[in-house]
Amino acid sequence: MQRHLLTIFLAATAASAVTTPFSFPSLPDLVASPKTPSTPFPLSAARHPSKICVVDPEATDAGPALISAARECNNGGTVVLLPDTTYTIASPTDLTFLQSVDVLILGTVVFSDDVEYWQTRAFGYPYQDAHLFWKFGGRDVNIYGLGIGTLDGLGQTWWTAKRSNETLYRPILFGTDGLFGGSVSGLNMKNSPFWFNVIMNSSDILITDINIWIEVTNSSSPPANTDGWDTYRSTNIVIQNSTIDNYDDCVSFKPNSTNIIVQNLQCNGSHGISVGSLGQYQGEYDIVEDVYVYNISMSNASDGARIKIWPGVPPNTTGSNSGGGAGYVRNVTYDLFYNTNTDWAIELTQCYFASSQEACNEYPAVLLVEDILFKNFYGITSARHDPRVGTLVCSDPSGGGNGRYLITEKGANSDTQVCKNIRAENIAVAPPSAVTAEWICTNMDEGLLDVNCIAA
């Protein structure tokens, strides 16, 4: 009834933004559960129930109308996108000025698929050529859809264009840049051109009850790089209670992601929940630390839990974006994973995207991986590697041919190891053949691994 009355009352509104005392669906109570962040989220300031700003449903380009409504309702109001209405964003929309405001999306937001236009207009970032149609930032911002609101990236146009031009930019469906405190909840997201979500330069955000999926209408041009979430240079983030049906990482922790909880997800068709990739850019120092991944259902995926590190590069290499970066991965736990038809239940590699195994051996990764725990893994893998179900491969601590690590015996000096304290406990994953599961374990302390290690 409330939604119906809201539709009737606001449908006649012609202004780009209006203020009205009308009652509207309020932000639901959102709680991080069962795992909670070590630093509690800040409380939202009170919202004024009479301060409601409606985005003009007649606007040809909803971008400027959304900005106008957000400016009017900043500092205590709620911006409303009407139900049963399609809003088309056809120009870059910068919403990084927000302060103590909610955005209620009850309609459908569609992003123009004018590929040529967005090549020079989208908000661009140097890391992995990320681009955004719109971006949210500021303080104390809640974006919610109550299970009704939908974001549609019209991805097939972009996937088809990519087939003939590998270098074109494909924007991300939703992104934050400098958002401190708030939430994203109750949204449907479909057909992103690139990643579905990026959370960057942000902190103290709860993301919950999101439904992500892809509709392919041209099988000769399938999706690519459609990560569910990527976190980048962000801390104290919780992602939970969502379903993801995509073609790349379900969640990926990019450089400088710290204090992250991911829990209660159903992932299908993905590349797993991944740390990385890290170490891609020489001269950069990448950190992923204090991450807890809990209660994940992973189906029809290349990987369940995954850590992917780029290898090193030859000495005196400059301008490299294909490895050689330093940093560390530390204190990461994957707990309670249900695998169905995954190729690898767990994959750890420090040879990600190497030009060859020989090159990787000669110039091993320099990025440290330590204090990692995989526990309570169940299910059955795919037949792809049967009877092997997982692979844990660390760089040679002797440094291969470049002499970066100088030790004479494996494990002789733990300070020179690039993988330390990697543990696997209560791992009950089987291959479909039902024979004894095998694990590839290279340069690992096998005494810490509750798995059947074999030579590569």
Q: Active-site positions? A: 271
Q: What are the residues whose beta carbons fall under 8 Å from the beta carbon of 341, sequence distance 6 or more?
A: 299, 300, 301, 380, 381, 382
Which amino acid is located at 297 in the chain?
A: S
| Nearest partner of 67 among 43, 36, 98, judged by Cα | 98
Dist CA 23 CA 25 (whole Å): 7
Structure tokens at 300: 């029809």
Structure tokens at 317: 């290499």
Dist CA 37 CA 381 (whole Å): 32
- Coil, strand or helix at 426: strand
Beta strands in 191-313 (DSSP E): 197-200, 203-208, 211-213, 229-232, 234-245, 251-253, 257-268, 273-278, 285-299, 303-309
| Nearest partner of 79 among 138, 119, 160, judged by Cα | 138
Radius of gyration of the chain (CA): 23
How deeply is 96 buried, as exposed, middle or buried, from its count of CB atoms within 10 A (0-12, 13-18, 19+)? Answer: middle
Compute CA distances 369 → 143, 313, 362, 374, 429, whole Å: 35, 18, 19, 13, 23
Beta strands in 113-170 (DSSP E): 123-125, 130-132, 134-144, 150-152
